[in-house]
Amino acid sequence: MTLKLVWGVTGSGDKLPETVAAMAAVKQQHDIEITAAVSIAGVRVLRWYKLTEAVASLARSVKAEKDANSPFITGPLQIGEYDALLVAPATANTVAKIVYGIEDTMLTNAVGQTAKSDTPIFIMPVDLREGVTVTTRPGGEKLELRIRRIDVENSDKLRGMEGITVFESPDEIEGIIQDLERRRAAQ
């Protein structure tokens, strides 16, 4: 039976190419139907990284945010029309809003409302450890960023939230999909 997943894409370029590659790999290896839910900033960043077409080719549909409830993905997530919500990569802004219950974007609203149901949520924050991290710019050049303590603290708080599983790397997506398949088979 086909696994149905909502993949939330925020405005983070960090780990974005690797996440798209991981989603392409699971799409090839599993019976999975992906609905991409892309934030307003996510649309811009996908375009900047020239990944818009790649995401569109992986997804049954791409839902670009208009406001916090449009397009409407929260209801179908809550009532189990999807097997999971996976947000990757998640910006520090998205993580902070989720941690403090601010549901003013399509993805923060989806997480907040889906957490009230039995639908599992998986989030990959990009800011996990204080210090300097190296990411890749759209043209392939390296960029050093300093990760702030507040952003790391919010990622840590996210780990403690009920109904949310935090993961650290696109390499973990394969295992998440396998776990979801096992869960579905056991039902």
For residue 22, the enclosing domain spans 3-186
pLDDT in tens, 30-56: 999 999 999 999 999 999 999 999 999
Name the packing angle between helices 106-114 and 92-99 (round to 10°): 40
Copy the structure tokens of residue 167: 């993961």
- Whole-number pLDDT of residue 140: 85
- Whole-number pLDDT of residue 118: 93
DSSP secondary structure code for residue 105 in this structure = S
Provide φ and ψ at 162, rounded to 5°.
Answer: -65, 135
The CATH number assigned to the domain holding 100 equals: 3.40.50.1950
Distant-in-sequence, close-in-space partners of 122: CB < 8 Å, separation ≥ 6: 84, 85, 86, 87, 88, 164, 165, 166, 167, 176
Longest CA pairwise span in the chain (Å): 46
Distances (CA, A) of 79 to 51, 54, 62, 172, 184: 31, 29, 20, 26, 15
SS (H, E, C) 59-79: EEEEEECCECCECCCHHHHHC
- Please answer whether residues 86 and 177 qualify as being in contact, where contact means their C-beta atoms are separated by less than 8 angstroms: no
Which whole number is the average pLDDT over 83-109? 97
* Partner residues linked to 144 by β-bridges: 134
The count of structural domains within the chain is: 1
pLDDT in tens, 98-131: 999 999 999 999 999 999 999 999 999 999 999 9
